Amino acid sequence: MAYIRKRGKSWQAQVSWYDLNNERRYKTKSGFATKRQAQKWANEMEVAKSDNQIVDKDPIFAKEYSDYVNTYKIQGKAKTTERRYLYSVKVIENYFGKVKLSKVTRHMYQSFINEYGKDHSKNTMRLINRYIKAFARDCMADKLITTNFTDRINLTWNDENTHKVQYLNYDEIKKLLDSLEDGIKPSYISRYMIITALYTGMRIGEIMALEWSDIDFDNHLIKITKSYSYTEDKIKDPKTETSKRVIRVSKKLLDILKQLRVNHQKFVFMSATGNIPTTSAANKTLKKQLKKLKIKKDHFHFHSLRHTHVALLLFKGVPLYSISKRLGHANMSITAEVYAYMLDELRQKADDQIETILDGI
């Protein structure tokens, strides 16, 4: 039964219940302007109590998030992923201080997004929001909160700090491939890695970990089940579980890769001397090739080859669902979010086509 009382100029409500050990628990909330508001909250808690959706724990938001990250999110993850999560912990600690989890409202969270977004890129804001949304969902499951304060949030960011996804157009891809293949030989491993990224959209870690046994030459398939972490210097599981996938590739790519068999190594991109090019080495080769072709892209790097692969497939009409599966994304919404800028360009192109068609009627 709920207990309502006036304390000074405000009202307080308290509900009690018995837990699984038959011990009495209490949940109290103060500061209501009217008795009616206190009664409304108490009624909501009574309903939650009936559905076994209530606990008396009310931790500090930043402390609970830090514990959540250290317990569930960074164990066994790559160092880069760990750094991103720990960075988000600092952000929440700095902004929310000692605010209790129960006090965090949708309005308060939106204010945080608005404020922090003034000086940060779209990618940073997207990442922070994704982490906190997952945390809030788990808090709901653990009965720490009754409403998800991240629902229906308007994501904001600073466009000046946001780099648009860079990619090569069709003609630039052709020029780069021709240049890479010109005079290529098995000792030029980085060139083969760049060609593979263009043809497959694979991440550099996935390329570095590729073994000959992962390639089905008869059926033109590549099996992606692992990734090389250069920060930890070891082979491990790929970025996510959905990153484990099998992709279809062209005979042309496979014929090029066959040239590397003369190195007699377990790994496809390992040299005869037993070395796999580092990310820096691959990027150095890529920049050298782009400079040679006079292709100016200020922020273009090896991962941009993955974006280029996506751009090529999109502009050739390959469905987003198929592209998402090929990239190893958990769902299409992630693909659409990452490549929103690219999809926007495609929509504008389609709008121009539609207008031309309609003008011709």
Residue 349's pLDDT is 66
Q: Would you place residue 143 in the very low, low, confident or very high pLDDT band (cuts 50, 70, 90)?
A: confident
Identify the residue whose tokens are 């909330």.
29
**Strands across the sheet with 245-248, in order?**
215-216, 221-224, 245-248
| CA separation for the pair 338, 307 (Å, rounded) | 9
Spatial neighbors of 242 by CB under 8 A, at least 6 apart, are 328, 329, 330
DSSP string, 74-124: STT--HHHHHHHHHHHHHHHHHHTT-BGGG--HHHHHHHHHHHHTTS-HHH
Mean pLDDT confidence for 324-352: 77
Mean pLDDT confidence for 205-223: 96
Pair 253, 199: CB distance under 8 Å: yes
| CA separation for the pair 288, 246 (Å, rounded) | 31
| CA separation for the pair 237, 225 (Å, rounded) | 7
Maximum Cα–Cα distance across the chain: 85
3-class DSSP assignment, residue 350 = helix
Spatial neighbors of 26 by CB under 8 A, at least 6 apart, are 14, 15, 16, 56
Q: pTM for the complete prediction?
A: 0.64
Q: At what angle do helices 320-327 and 302-315 cross, to 10 degrees?
A: 160
Q: 104 burial class (0-12, 13-18, 19+ CB within 10 angstroms)?
A: buried
Mean pLDDT confidence for 304-311: 91
Q: How far is CA 291 from CA 106, 169, 253, 282, in A?
A: 49, 16, 24, 14
Residue 326's pLDDT is 93
The per-residue pLDDT for range 172-185, each reduced to its tens digit, is 999 999 999 999 99
| CA separation for the pair 242, 324 (Å, rounded) | 10
The per-residue pLDDT for range 238-290, each reduced to its tens digit, is 777 888 999 999 999 999 999 999 999 999 999 999 999 999 999 999 999 99
3-class DSSP assignment, residue 209 = coil
Mean pLDDT confidence for 124-141: 92
What CATH code would you report for 170-351? 1.10.443.10
- Going by C-alpha positions, the residue among 212, 242, 216, 237 that lies closest to residue 227 is 237
Residue 350's pLDDT is 65
Domain spans, the chain: 3-50, 61-161, 170-351
Average pLDDT, the chain: 87
Q: What are phi and psi of 60, to 5 degrees?
A: -75, 130
* CATH superfamily of domain region 61-161: Tyrosine recombinase, N-terminal domain (1.10.150.130)
Cα Rg of the chain (Å, integer): 27
Residue 21's pLDDT is 66
